[in-house]
A and B are shown apart, each in its own frame.
Chain A
Amino acid sequence: MYNEKTLAKGLVSHGVNTCAGCGLEIVFRNVLAVLGEDTVVVAPPGCVALFSGLDDVTNMKIAGYQCNLENTAASAAGIRAGLDALGNTHTTVLAFAGDGATVDIGIQSLSGMIERGDRVLYVCYDNEAYMNTGIQGSSSTPQGASTTTTPAGKSTARKDLIQIAIAHGIPYAASASVAYLPDLQKKVKKASRVQGPSLIHVHTPCPTGWLFPPAKSIELCRNAVLTAAWVLYEWENEKIAINYTPERLLPLEDYLLAQGRFKGLTQEEIAEMQQMIVGKYRRLLAAAEM
């Protein structure tokens, strides 16, 4: 049905109007590259809607629709049920939503989808705030980060999406990062084969909202992993596996102070956060040993 105006290498056209250095664009291209064209995508408002397109132009070559902000999971579950009813069990149903659409307004719908065991691959690209509406804080915004609704820095810790999913008994969940693309691709492949719900939570840099130079996106996200501010791990067969363990953790400030949103933090606050983050990392390591 498409009239192709420009040829693209993959399923996403080039020249999408995301900001320079946008991590979301990298995540979206890579996820679709793994899944291929036998995929139906549903995505809510948020920066991902930039791929939906405008008027009669779209930026992707697969079937899908833009749902509402809080119903990505329910919409995807419905699509799955519809395709199954038609005897189509081969097409992957991809729910692709931001952190706000996932951990805030969409958490109920996601919870229902996981609990029912619907076969949907849910990818949450986490840029740690409501970026599309102007960098407002979400419940995935890390403690200390300044946003337009947490101007003095967020005072509470973020929600832990993967642990929430694990508590639901999800068959497969994994965190991932744009700085580790082969790892992300491997996880997408795995998740697409799960006979039930699967979740991939991707750390997604946003130069516009995090306030850092666009050229530094990958480096910054790698530092998030090297400081354990973001841990790459998987939940599979009822077990946690850590996918990457830095030999020695970098000091948290290497990651934080490269971003304008953390500029207001005092040394004590950074030390406190470091303690929290390292504590959590250790608990994950311990859980992985079990």
Chain B
Amino acid sequence: MAEYMMLDGNAAAVQGMAMSRVKVVAAYPITPQSSIAERLSDLVASGELQATYMRVESEHSALSATLGAQLAGVRAGTATSSVGLALMHEICNAASGMRVPIVMPVVNRALASPWSLWCDHQDSMAERDSGWLQLYCQNVQEIYDLTLMAYRLAEHERVLLPAMVCFDGFFLSHSMQKVAVPAQAEVDSFVGPYTPKNVWLDPTDPVFINDLITMEEFTEMKYQMKEGFASAADVFNEVSAEFAERFGRRYCAAEGYMTEDAEAVIVSLGSMSGTVRHVVREMRSRGEKVGALKVTCFRPFPQKEVARLLAGVGRVAVFDRSAGLGAAGGPLFLEVKDALDGKAFVKNYIGGLGGRDVGASTVERVFADLRAAREEDDRAPVWCDVKEHPMQIRQVLRFV
């Protein structure tokens, strides 16, 4: 039987990790992740969580120690944000390449510079090619649920890839919401005990892991990872079906909302997806045929589902919460555009950077702009809610 708890996003992530019985935790504080580290150390100190808490001196060491512990054969955990994730970058690739299925909450926060404490997706987007599964949460319940699901997905023998459970800093990490939390026994039977697979450190059956690989085999080892991602798409659906059966909530890698007869749809990630749905409801009540599409699983990207859900939709706005500097658009846009393969008019909107709120009025303006856009117009991404004279803000260039 589930009970209801009032949890903020960070507490929900901790609840998910603790109920999945992580045995070693190594974490380093960073806003807005800090309360995850604090809460886990509290649970360990009080004995509620039977685990070792390692007070490491950096995020680089946090992920390194987590990787070492999990290679020794136990479920281990860490969590981070922003520059902390950037500092982990090297070890993110080590963990995925060694096929160690670590599950890590990533509390999305902008990457410096300039410094910002607030939400955007630049941190996790910068890791999108690091060989990790990436799930994005819309609300606090999803943080808890997707954390449990992430263990099943990552640890599945056909997948064996680490997973980031990404959620918006402050908007979710510090937002108190009512969360259905199943009994420990139910979680135990869903997540199961950790069984190391592939290679791990067993002194009685030794193997040396991660040596130098020549051009003879490197490509094939990457190919195996690619296959892991391909399997992850199916395994996500299997795990999600089982989760729905047990707990009554169903998750899709990509989830449409009133997309069936929609003429215009906004595609988004994370907490703003709730706002988009709200606006869609309002606009529908005025008779406007709009819809929303939320991408929960960004890696592997659910290309087929996105194409299916958007089939017949004439106009698609893709909202990226990271700047996609120097590219034709933000990372979500590039994926969606490719999935649609010319079958719709797709436009990219960049916004919600460094904590700027993406409220209902922003979403309405995106729908309005999308409707007004003409085929022959410039296809460059539209930057939303940019102030007047952006080039004059804090301009410090001299002699230009």
A residues neighboring B (CB under 8 Å): 1-2, 37-40, 42, 49, 52-56, 58, 60-68, 70-71, 73-86, 88, 91, 108-109, 111-112, 115-116, 118
B residues 112-164 touching A (CB-CB < 8 Å): none
Q: Total A-B residue pairs with C-beta atoms closer than 8 Å?
A: 167
Number of B residues contacting the other chain (C-beta, 8 Å)? 44
Across the interface, do A1 and B211 meet the contact criterion of CB distance under 8 Å? no
B26 at the interface (CB under 8 A from A): yes
B residues 19-42 touching A (CB-CB < 8 Å): 23-24, 26
Most buried by B among A67, A73, A78: A78
Across the interface, do B212 and A78 meet the contact criterion of CB distance under 8 Å? no
Pairs A–B under 8 Å by Cβ, sample size 9: A52-B211, A53-B211, A54-B212, A55-B216, A63-B205, A78-B66, A78-B67, A81-B65, A84-B52
Do A116 and B55 form a contact, CB below 8 Å, given A54-B214, A68-B91? yes
Q: How far is the CB of B199 from chain A (nearest CB, A)?
A: 8
Across the interface, do A82 and B23 meet the contact criterion of CB distance under 8 Å? yes
B58 at the interface (CB under 8 A from A): yes
What CA separation (Å) do A63 and B204 show in the bound complex? 8
Q: How far is the CB of B391 from chain A (nearest CB, A)?
A: 40
Do A2 and B68 form a contact, CB below 8 Å, given A55-B217, A77-B54? no
B residues neighboring A (CB under 8 Å): 23-24, 26, 51-52, 54-58, 60-62, 64-74, 76, 90-91, 94, 98, 201-203, 205-214, 216-217
Across the interface, do B201 and A78 meet the contact criterion of CB distance under 8 Å? no
Across the interface, do A76 and B68 meet the contact criterion of CB distance under 8 Å? yes
Q: Which of B23, B67, B94, B217 contacts A85 (CB 8 A)?
A: B23
Across the interface, do B69 and A79 meet the contact criterion of CB distance under 8 Å? yes
* A residues less than 8 Å from B211 (CB atoms): 49, 52-55, 58, 66
* A residues less than 8 Å from B57 (CB atoms): 108-109, 111-112, 115
What CA separation (Å) do A112 and B205 show in the bound complex? 30
Q: How far is the CB of A234 from chain B (nearest CB, A)?
A: 26
Nearest 8 pairs between A and B by C-beta?
Answer: A78-B68, A82-B72, A78-B65, A112-B57, A82-B69, A74-B61, A71-B64, A63-B206
Do A109 and B60 form a contact, CB below 8 Å, given A54-B211, A60-B208? yes
What CA separation (Å) do A56 and B216 show in the bound complex? 11
Across the interface, do B203 and A78 meet the contact criterion of CB distance under 8 Å? no
Q: Which residue of A lies closest to B212 (CB)?
A: A54
Known A75-B65, A78-B67, A85-B51; 10 more pairs at CB < 8 Å: A40-B201, A56-B217, A61-B206, A67-B210, A68-B91, A71-B60, A77-B54, A81-B76, A85-B23, A86-B72
Q: Which of A71, A82, A118 contacts B74 (CB 8 A)?
A: A82
Most buried by A among B54, B64, B98, B209: B64
Most buried by A among B23, B57, B66, B207: B57
Q: Which residue of A lies closest to B65 (CB)?
A: A78
Across the interface, do A55 and B214 meet the contact criterion of CB distance under 8 Å? yes
Do A40 and B58 form a contact, CB below 8 Å, given A79-B68, A82-B72, A82-B73? no
Across the interface, do A64 and B201 meet the contact criterion of CB distance under 8 Å? yes
* A residues less than 8 Å from B212 (CB atoms): 49, 52-55, 66
What CA separation (Å) do A81 and B75 show in the bound complex? 11
Q: Which of B23, B55, B208 contacts A64 (CB 8 A)?
A: B208
Do A85 and B74 form a contact, CB below 8 Å, given A54-B211, A70-B60, A74-B61? yes
Across the interface, do A65 and B210 meet the contact criterion of CB distance under 8 Å? yes
What CA separation (Å) do A55 and B207 show in the bound complex? 13
What CA separation (Å) do A84 and B202 show in the bound complex? 13
* B residues less than 8 Å from A58 (CB atoms): 208, 211
Q: Which of A52, A70, A75, A91 contacts B67 (CB 8 A)?
A: A75
Q: How far is the CB of B382 from chain A (nearest CB, A)?
A: 41
Across the interface, do A78 and B72 meet the contact criterion of CB distance under 8 Å? yes
Do A65 and B98 form a contact, CB below 8 Å, given A78-B66, A79-B68, A81-B52? yes
Q: Which of B24, B205, B208, B210 contacts A78 (CB 8 A)?
A: B24
Q: Which of B68, B73, B206 contacts A75 (CB 8 A)?
A: B68
* B residues less than 8 Å from A118 (CB atoms): 54
Q: Which residue of B lies closest to A58 (CB)?
A: B208
Do A65 and B71 form a contact, CB below 8 Å, given A81-B24, A85-B52? yes
What CA separation (Å) do A38 and B204 show in the bound complex? 8
* B residues less than 8 Å from A85 (CB atoms): 23-24, 51-52, 69, 72, 74
* B residues less than 8 Å from A66 (CB atoms): 208-212
